[in-house]
Structure 1
């Protein structure tokens, strides 16, 4: 009875530490199902099949994470971390009780088992919180293209080493000296692994900072080019305006009012409507106080209008601060707008809308464009390396998602509804 209760509570501890590490709230129906299977596996399979239950625990915890995140590498590394933490906490609790009461709790299975579980849970809680803080502070490197695979491989490898040692413990009958020796071995493995991972993160960080400097230079060059383009448009307008005045002067001097009237309605008035339309489109953009963002939106809107795309820009209220690296945001918006313009220019109903919606604690950037009704499913579009332009061309949703993931306070939501394709970047300003 005590043994079954112990296994039940351990399954609950596994689940709680997993939820704390992933910071997911609530309990979905599918999560409830997998949690029930986890409990049954830990209570019944562990008693009859022993080591097999450790592997099925990993599988069930993986399914719980994957149903929320849909990223198998993240799910695998997360579950490995949670299992490593629980195994470590279990051994620390066992070692402390052995020192305090001169008993080996796993051999005695007395009423002290509740105190052992409480102590194990407290250690697991403390270690998982510290591990989560480390993960969050280095998320942009650990989840990047260069860091994701090595980090997943490292965590799975460490868990596998822990698993082999736990299996050895079970086979040897959970003897006190074996558990204590394993605890020392685990500490050494974690120390060496921690130093290795920290060194690797520093290497990625240096590479990232170098790339950021290059990107900042590139964005500054793009910003300058946008200004030059706008200046060129102004010069072109001045030149056209002078030609218009000259042509009007010719009709007036000849008093050719009939042709003057025709010339006005056929050539000048349509141009005035276009100018008015462009001014209307860019009217709300004056509320954007960040010059680099404003320049990028204005330039992309100009490109879209040249392709006869109807552009709508909305900025609900003045924006002078967005809590994200300007380089990251400009790159993300550049990808979204370039893809939107390219997708829209080939269809009949050409429409592109850009909205900046400012709330109390966040800013939502919504870009929506018309699209073909036969686009691939989202899970296909999000595959790494996939682009509607063909292999090795363009920047797909996988690249964009990685860019957004580099900022811990931003999220990206992509939706396809009939002939409408929208992407929403949400940035927390707190």
Structure 2
């Protein structure tokens, strides 16, 4: 029975962790989580049971377990403060709610107090506290997953370090006070209610403050994305207007040309016809075959924001004298990914491609393909660009602050990887050979 309740408790903590980090609870994660917990429990008992450090070890079991679990599930080794926050937050939230319920609800009701004195009662109320935490997170929609993909500034790091210290202290201090109370009879329990009340208020205030700041930052990002989209749409409108003006001018010129030809034909004067052809018609087809008119394929994109983004970026490439090839031969639309995330990834890939192709100054330039693979049921985006190097080392290009373009760069692809972590149905394949760098984004639809 205890093993079942413990396993259920680990599952609930895993659900809390998944809510906070923004991940899905899969069978694989459940098996890994429960197995890791029991392995660590046996290890702690075997190493510390007969020593004077057993009490401290038992307090550190859960924090150690969640730190190891977070390390095994997420690539957070370079963000120690964030790793500790993700590891301690589910435990801290649960412990605060549990102690609040114990001191201000259970201890005030004799029947519940009597049940709590048993091991089974402790486990049941512990599970109830975890369920309450899970409900609170769902109701208030606490989501700190965006901390993984954003660059942590100094203020955020200080906030996380302070929060980690407070959570770790609270996770250790109340049980330690209970231990001292039992061993030395110093009546430390008189202070536990006050400590619990203070920490409860501080924790709730902190959680709401951090959540509000994150929501505000995300809202600012959404507004910025909207402004970028509006600018792209404006550029798109200007490009379309320019094309329309060219077509009108072309029609007007050709009306005059046809009139000139008609005169030559009516007079049966081959010299006039030859002169019109040599001076006007002979080279007129070149303008129609220019790269600029590849944008006609954008009509196959159903999402105006994506259409305007592609036109804006590819127009930028053309302004840098970078050859552009656009291949969108069938109707296509964004599927199974949030539009803002798809646009962000596309923008980053195109920015990197344009910059690299401009430096390479090669004929290959940029090739962009977008299509739906009916055979494999996937939406596929391919971005190819020429490079200065014959082959680019791929091992580190997705790490934050690592880039072949110099110090302080390399944020874009790190953000791409961070976004894709939220989409198990999507993957990004990267290759580099023979002076061609290729990024292939595949989304299962």
Corresponding residue of 1:27: 28
Q: Where does structure 1 lack aligned partners over 5 or more consecutive residues?
A: 107-111
2-side partners of 1:412 and 1:209: how far apart? 25
Assess if the C-alpha contact under 8 Å between 1:340 and 1:352 holds in 2: no
Assess if the C-alpha contact under 8 Å between 2:229 and 2:308 holds in 1: no
Which of 223, 228, 239 lines up with 2:238 in the alignment?
228
Which of 363, 367, 376 lines up with 1:352 in the alignment?
367
Corresponding residue of 2:57: 52
Task: Give 1:80 deviation, angstroms.
Answer: 0.3
Mark the CA change 1:122 to 1:240 in structure 2 (over 3 Å): closer, same or farther: same
1:117 matched to 2:123: yes
2-side partners of 1:94 and 1:45: how far apart? 31
1:338 matched to 2:338: no
Q: CA RMSD in A?
A: 4.9
Assess if the C-alpha contact under 8 Å between 2:372 and 2:379 holds in 1: yes
Mark the CA change 1:27 to 1:350 in structure 2 (over 3 Å): closer, same or farther: same
* Secondary structure of residue in 2 paired with 1:173: helix
TM-score, normalising length: structure 2: 0.69
1:87 matched to 2:100: no
* Secondary structure of residue in 2 paired with 1:414: strand
Task: Give 1:341 deviation, angstroms.
Answer: 2.7
> What are the residue-to-residue correspondences of 1:163-202 with 2, within 5 Å?
163-165=171-173, 166-173=175-182, 178=188, 181-202=191-212
Corresponding residue of 2:132: 126
* Secondary structure of residue in 2 paired with 1:66: helix
Task: Give 1:25 deviation, angstroms.
Answer: 0.9
Mark the CA change 1:77 to 1:133 in structure 2 (over 3 Å): closer, same or farther: farther
1-side partners of 2:92 and 2:378: how far apart? 38
Task: Give 1:307 deviation, angstroms.
Answer: 2.0
Mark the CA change 1:33 to 1:9 in structure 2 (over 3 Å): closer, same or farther: closer
> What are the residue-to-residue correspondences of 1:146-161 with 2, within 5 Å?
149=157, 152-161=160-169
> What are the residue-to-residue correspondences of 1:72-111 with 2, within 5 Å?
72=79, 73-88=81-96, 91=99, 96=106, 99-100=110-111
Assess if the C-alpha contact under 8 Å between 2:430 and 2:438 holds in 1: yes
Mark the CA change 1:401 to 1:190 in structure 2 (over 3 Å): closer, same or farther: farther
Mark the CA change 1:70 to 1:423 in structure 2 (over 3 Å): closer, same or farther: farther
Mark the CA change 1:376 to 1:302 in structure 2 (over 3 Å): closer, same or farther: same
2-side partners of 1:46 and 1:13: how far apart? 25
TM-score, normalising length: structure 1: 0.71
- Pick which of 363-372 and 293-302 moved more: 363-372
Corresponding residue of 1:67: 72
Corresponding residue of 1:293: 306
Corresponding residue of 2:429: 415
Assess if the C-alpha contact under 8 Å between 2:426 and 2:444 holds in 1: no
2-side partners of 1:353 and 1:371: how far apart? 12
> What are the residue-to-residue correspondences of 1:167-316 with 2, within 5 Å?
167-173=176-182, 178=188, 181-203=191-213, 205-206=215-216, 209=219, 212-213=222-223, 216-236=226-246, 255=271, 267-269=283-285, 271-274=287-290, 278=293, 282-283=296-297, 285-304=298-317, 307-313=322-328, 316=331
Q: Where does structure 2 lack aligned partners over 5 or more consecutive residues?
A: 19-23
